[in-house]
Amino acid sequence: MRPFDYSRASSTADAAQQAAGGGTFIAGGTNLLDLMKLEVMAPDKLIDINRLDLSQIEETSDGGLRIGALVSNSDLANDTRVRRDWPVLSRALLAGASGQLRNKATTGGNLLQRTRCLYFYDRATPCNKRDPGSGCAAREGFNRILAVLGTSEHCIATHPSDMAVAMRVLDAEVETLKQDGETRRLTLDALYLLPGDHPERETVLEPGELITAVVLPAPIKDAQQTYRKVRDRASYAFALVSVAGIVGLKDGRISHADLAFGGLAPKPWRNAEVEELLIGETPSETLFDKAADILLAEAQGYGANDFKIPLARRTLVSVLNELTKEASA
């Protein structure tokens, strides 16, 4: 690990100020320290934000939840309100990482974790995300775990989070504090950037901008929620494909359809056209197949990850079958 300065922040304002001269926030550190050991990341300065008062889960006035950025993945998954009213979020969290990691990993950090692309981790190979302009070794390399949607010629990395997929399907918003004291709220769609010509830029966050909370809207009534994760082993593995779904039925027709996807793209993926197609229709295999057609219309495989395209189709159809069957039962 390269040497760095270390300091503790005493308040969010202090954290923002300390970051003014450049610096990287550390919370759980489970991804950052991993990358620092490999010198994939080498910050000059770490600002420890673990002492900040951001570990509460509070109910909002409109029936939602405000989740402090430092709430651990375990505490969030275990929260009785989340388990009851936003089960897709509990399920996604419990499908991720291991017991030890969930105890340490935080809500804010989980959103900002980096891709697990093998070439991002391997400093002996080119990677436009790690070393802009050096090229992408993944396109023609071992790309089994990489993206088929939203990629660019410069990067085919996937976003690895399960939690973020559930947050996306729940229309969660991120609250941030900028260095100048200004706060803002961003949807997850707005938070994450697609790689385009600059895969090294992953979010719209400015230097020193701190995520302070994630806000969930009120729970969706009269709909079933699920998180389906397909992976290479039964536990403690990243998603090859995952689907977070919230689907409701009324009088035999689909009245509500929110769907987000993991393992397919550089950010938690959502496609409004897929959802629009489903609304008002009677559930059927033909309909679900059409939904998959729309989702995957622009999907492109790179060899070893070609299988993700049919896998995503089958997972989506299976999830829609499950959610429309349970709702009608």
Partner 1 sequence: MKTELTINGTQHKLELDPRTTLLDALRHHLGLTGSKKGCDHGQCGACTVMVNGRRINSCLTLACMHDGDEITTIEGIGQPDNLSPLQQAFISQDGFQCGYCTPGQICSATAMLEEIAEGWPSHATEDINDRPSLTVDEIAERMSGNLCRCAAYPNIVEAIRKTAEESA
- 90 lies in the binding site for partner 1 (CB under 8 A): yes
The interface mask with partner 1, positions 37-66, x = CB under 8 A, is x--------x-x-x----------------
User: C-beta of 298: minimal distance to partner 1 in Å?
Assistant: 32
User: C-beta of 312: minimal distance to partner 1 in Å?
Assistant: 21
User: C-beta of 278: minimal distance to partner 1 in Å?
Assistant: 26
Size of the site for partner 1 (CB under 8 A): 36
User: C-beta of 73: minimal distance to partner 1 in Å?
Assistant: 12
Stretch that binds partner 1, among 80-88, 111-119, 252-260, 285-293 (CB under 8 A): 80-88
Footprint (CB under 8 A) of partner 1, residues 11-40: 26, 28-30, 33-34, 37
- 100 lies in the binding site for partner 1 (CB under 8 A): yes
Closer to partner 1 by CB, 115 or 128: give it.
115
User: C-beta of 80: minimal distance to partner 1 in Å?
Assistant: 8
Closer to partner 1 by CB, 37 or 185: give it.
37
Closer to partner 1 by CB, 5 or 273: give it.
5
User: C-beta of 162: minimal distance to partner 1 in Å?
Assistant: 10
For partner 1, the binding residue among 17, 103, 226, 318 (CB under 8 A) is: 103
Contact between residue 199 and residue 128 where contact means Cβ atoms under 8 Å apart = yes
- 232 lies in the binding site for partner 1 (CB under 8 A): no
Helix H, strand E, coil C: the string for the chain is CCCCEEEECCCHHHHHHHHHHCCEEECCCCCHHHHHHCCCCCCCEEEECCCCCCCCEEECCCCCEEEECCCEHHHHHHCHHHHHHCHHHHHHHHCCCCHHHHHHCEHHHHHHCCCCCHHHHCCCCCECCCCCCCCECCCCCCCCCCCCCCCECCECCCCCCCHHHHHHHCCCEEEEECCCCCEEEEEHHHHECCCCCCCCCCECCCCCCEEEEEEECCCCCCCEEEEEEECCCCCCCCCCEEEEEEEEEECCEEEEEEEEEECCCCCCECCHHHHHHHCCCCCCHHHHHHHHHHHCCCCCCCCCCCCHHHHHHHHHHHHHHHHHHHHHC
Ramachandran region of residue 25, left (φ > 0), alpha (ψ -120 to 50) or beta?
A: beta
Residue 329 CB coordination number (10 Å): 7
Question: Which residue, 257, 253, 252, is CA-closest to 280?
Answer: 253
Closer to partner 1 by CB, 99 or 280: give it.
99
Stretch that binds partner 1, among 81-89, 133-141, 163-171, 249-257 (CB under 8 A): 81-89
Closer to partner 1 by CB, 168 or 228: give it.
228
For partner 1, the binding residue among 62, 124, 221, 234 (CB under 8 A) is: 234
Point out which residues bind partner 1 (CB under 8 A): 1, 3-6, 26, 28-30, 33-34, 37, 46, 48, 50, 74, 77-78, 80, 83-84, 87, 90-91, 94-95, 97-101, 103-104, 234-236
